[in-house]
Amino acid sequence: MQKIVLTGGPGTGKTSIIDELHKRGYLCQQEVSRRIILMARENGIEQLFLKDPLLFSKLLLEGRIQQFKDALNKKGDFVFFDRGIPDVHAYMNYLAIEYPELYIIKSNKYTYDKVFLMPPWQEIYITDNERYENFEQSLAIHNHLKNTYNSLGYDTIEVPFGSIDERIDFILKTVR
């Protein structure tokens, strides 16, 4: 089974593509952070990532590792992940927060076969209750994601702009 990551800054279309791949019958692992954000809000913490970035990142790391392990027990040619394990420390790099070496160790232990990087796209960028970053911050996060994956030895594949169908066609053609 090929393990394929869709990553990129906020608002680049990752979740829309993951949702459509899922509708088409592909095995997909949804983004973990929205669930963590909503759980924190239920406990009275509006922005856990801003209030306690290390706790938020620890929960993300655990969730993404569990997703990775869960996917290994399923059948299929591909599994698509809405973000990967290295995204966790890429975001901490973006915030210039020190973090334990464990994040790099886990990123090297749980590896992916392909990494698709969704570039910032101002025309589709929107904010919502879980996405607080502006477009300029999305650009900066994009660069940190690209640098983090490249530093781990991945060749990121940039997904061109286009409709959801065009972007999915590009991804599926590339993985086959």
Q: What confidence tens digit (pLDDT) does each residue in 38-79 have?
A: 787 888 877 777 778 888 889 899 999 999 999 999 988 999
d(CA 52, CA 113): 32
Lowest-pLDDT choice from 17-21, 33-37, 149-153, 163-167: 33-37
- Return all residues near 14 (Cβ < 8 A) that are at least 6 apart: 6, 7, 8, 31, 82, 83, 118
Which of the two residues, 33 and 121, has the higher pLDDT score? Answer: 33
Write out the two tokens for 40: 């924190």
Question: Residue range 141-168: average pLDDT?
Answer: 96
The whole-number pLDDT of residue 49 equals 72
Question: Residue range 96-105: average pLDDT?
Answer: 93
E strands along 9-98, which residues? 27-29, 78-82
* Average confidence score pLDDT of the chain: 89
Residue 126's pLDDT band (cuts 50, 70, 90):
low
Which DSSP symbol is given to 122?
Answer: G
Question: Number of helices and strands (H, E) in the chain?
Answer: 8, 5
Torsion 126-127-130-131 (CA) sign: positive
Residue 5's pLDDT band (cuts 50, 70, 90):
very high
Question: Residue range 11-40: average pLDDT?
Answer: 89
**What is 2-175's CATH number?**
3.40.50.300
Alpha carbon 68 to its chain centroid, in Å, reads: 12
To the nearest 10 degrees (0 to 180), the angle between helices 102-109 and 86-95 is 150
With pLDDT > 90 as the criterion, what percentage of the chain qualifies?
A: 62
CA nearest to 26, candidates 18, 37, 36: 18
Extents of the domains making up the chain = 2-175
The pTM (predicted TM-score) of the whole model is: 0.89
DSSP-assigned letters across all residues of 8-27? ESTTSSHHHHHHHHHHTT-E
Residue 27: exposure state from Cβ atoms within 10 A (0-12, 13-18, ≥19): middle
Taking 70 as the threshold, does the pLDDT of residue 34 lie above it? yes
